[in-house]
Amino acid sequence: MSDTILKPGGGIKPELPFKPVRVAILTVSDTRDEATDTSGQILIERVQAAGHAFAGRAVVRDDIDKVRAQVRAWIASGDVDAIVTTGGTGLTGRDITVEALEPLFDKRIDGFSVVFHLVSYASVGLSTLQSRATAGLIDGVLVFCLPGSNGAVKDGWDKVIAAQLDSRHKPCNMVELMPRFLES
């Protein structure tokens, strides 16, 4: 068996205009706060380095109602285009991010989990099976749920999310679809 994974197609076309996206970061954890939230900080730095607008940060305990309340508040504000969560996607009893957010999805982005696991497998092998990374749309806002480890956050942002939140990525990207998310 080969140790290589499929080489992705598409890419960034630097000659095209960049359209920044407003991104909020939610860390779901019983053990971290803003001072110790390294995965959330990594995401903030990457969001800003990519040229996006950092729209907010919160650290919320592993509680379904609190996670939902924070996500709903950001969506209701109208000031957020995408939310990236970190933590709570594992298999333990305290891992509730998936249970909190998937029921709110208007549409699930099935391919996100598939591609995340593909790139994660290249980094951590079969340990990727311990993640339930997921993504979907809630009231026209993209929501990406990543594991809490720094490595998973880097893989998720660098190898999956960043390109789809870059309006210059071709042959297509999610930014160009944003105006149509709520159409009927």
Q: Where are the beta strands (DSSP E) in 35-123?
A: 53-60, 82-86, 107-108
Classified as helix, coil or strand, 57 is strand
Sequence-distant (≥ 6) Cβ neighbours of residue 136 within 8 angstroms: 101, 102, 104, 105, 106, 107, 108, 109, 143
Residue 12, Ramachandran bin (φ over 0: left; ψ between -120 and 50: alpha; else beta): beta
pLDDT at 21 exceeding the cut of 90: yes
Tens of pLDDT, residue by residue over 72-127, are 999 999 999 999 999 999 999 999 999 999 999 999 999 999 999 999 999 999 99
Entry pTM: 0.95
Average pLDDT along the chain: 95
Sheet of 82-86: strand order equals 53-60, 22-28, 82-86, 141-146, 134-138, 107-108
